[in-house]
């Protein structure tokens, strides 16, 4: 059976992970290879920050929140667990802009109701354009230590104040190239490697660039495609949307 390596962390329950289920339904075996570890940054400070946003709503109103990664969602949701009911109600009722259907589903599961973007915003460039069209005055962008500048730069160029709050940090996991090579050595029926982000994937990208015939390559979207091209790898497919169904459809079409 052909295999797909997803260069990402699976859901806590791997058996219910949407990417694993989509691969299985298309007769692919799958393996998740985490390439990054994540940790929250200053949770007490974040709890104080969201409480202050709620308390100062009349003095310094915020028109919208921006969260573009699942790790940032988890950090904010964790902070809200220990916040007052009034703070939870205020934060969860705010318009929240996010990228992709998976992140949108996660914020919805944590009680946010006014979700913008999501499936209609597959990357930061599209989301930034949607925010500009809505013309908020002030936004808070909950983000990681490493992120692209497209959203804050685009908003500020259009006169929108964008307050950035770092809520998590990531670092590369050592030894991922060896783990990747081990999977290669035990795969006989064909292999796909799916890149979800440039972060943490440098060593694997270098290996594939040197040994291009060892695996077919998929990119989850145009940003990751650009990263791969810069590293000498032309993806065999680029997902039309950042979701499991679009990704697997692209893999199936490129495998014919």
| 190, two tokens | 């064909």
- The CATH number of 3-35+173-255 is 3.40.50.10090
Q: Under a CB-based contact definition with an 8 Å cutoff, are residues 247 and 22 in contact?
A: yes
Spatial strand order of the sheet with 29-32 comes to 29-32, 3-7, 191-195, 216-219, 237-238
pLDDT, residue 229, reads: 97
Give, in order, the Cα–Cα distances in Å from 112 to each of 88, 126, 173, 212, 223: 10, 21, 32, 43, 27
If one counts every other C-beta atom within 10 angstroms of the C-beta of residue 185, the result is: 9
Across the chain, which has 256 residues, the per-10-residue mean pLDDT values are 91 77 93 91 95 86 92 94 94 94 90 92 90 95 86 96 94 90 85 92 95 94 92 96 91 94
pLDDT attached to residue 172? 86
Largest CA distance in the chain: 63
Residue 234 CB contacts under 8 Å (≥ 6 apart), including other chains: 217, 228
Are 33 and 169 in contact, with CB atoms under 8 Å apart? Answer: no
Report the length, in residues, of the chain: 256
Q: What is the 3-state secondary structure (H, E, C) of the chain?
A: CCEEEEECCCCCCHHHCHHHHHHHHCCCEEEECCCEEEEECCHHHHHHHHHHHHHCCCCCCCCEEEECCHHHHHHHHHHHHCCCHHHHHHHHCCCEEEECHHHHHHHHHCCCCCEEEECCCCCHHHHHHHHHHHCCCEEEEEEECCCCCHHHHHHHHCCCEEEEEEEEEEEECCCHHHHHHHHHHCCCCCEEEEECCCCCCHHHHHHHHHCHHHCEEEECCHHHHHHHHHCCCCCCEECCCCCHHHHHHHHHHHHC
All CATH 3.40.50.10090 domain ranges in the chain, comma separated: 3-35+173-255, 39-171
- In words, the CATH class of domain 39-171 is alpha beta
């Amino acid at each position: 059976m052909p295999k797909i390596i997803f260069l990402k962390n699976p859901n806590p329950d791997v058996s219910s992970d949407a990417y694993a289920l989509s691969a299985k339904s298309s007769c692919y075996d799958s393996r998740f290879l985490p390439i990054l570890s994540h940790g929250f940054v200053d949770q007490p400070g974040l709890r104080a920050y969201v409480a202050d946003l709620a308390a100062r709503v009349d003095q310094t109103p915020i028109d919208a929140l921006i969260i573009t990664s699942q790790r940032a969602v988890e950090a904010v949701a964790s902070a809200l667990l220990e916040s007052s009911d009034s703070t939870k109600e205020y934060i969860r009722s705010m318009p929240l802009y996010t990228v992709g259907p998976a992140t949108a589903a996660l914020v919805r599961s944590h009680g946010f109701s006014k979700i913008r973007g999501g499936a209609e915003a597959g990357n930061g460039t599209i989301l930034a354009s949607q925010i500009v069209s809505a013309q908020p005055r002030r936004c808070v962008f909950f983000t990681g230590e490493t992120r692209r500048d497209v959203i804050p730069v685009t908003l500020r160029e259009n006169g929108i104040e964008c307050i950035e709050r770092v809520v998590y940090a990531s670092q590369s996991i050592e030894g991922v190239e060896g783990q990747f090579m081990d999977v290669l050595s035990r795969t006989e029926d064909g292999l796909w490697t799916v890149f979800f982000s440039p972060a943490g994937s440098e060593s694997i990208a270098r290996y594939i660039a040197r040994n291009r015939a060892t695996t077919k390559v998929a990119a989850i979207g145009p940003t990751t495609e650009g990263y791969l091209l810069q590293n000498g790898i032309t993806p065999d497919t680029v997902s039309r949307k950042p979701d499991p169904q679009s990704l697997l459809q692209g893999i199936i079409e490129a495998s014919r």
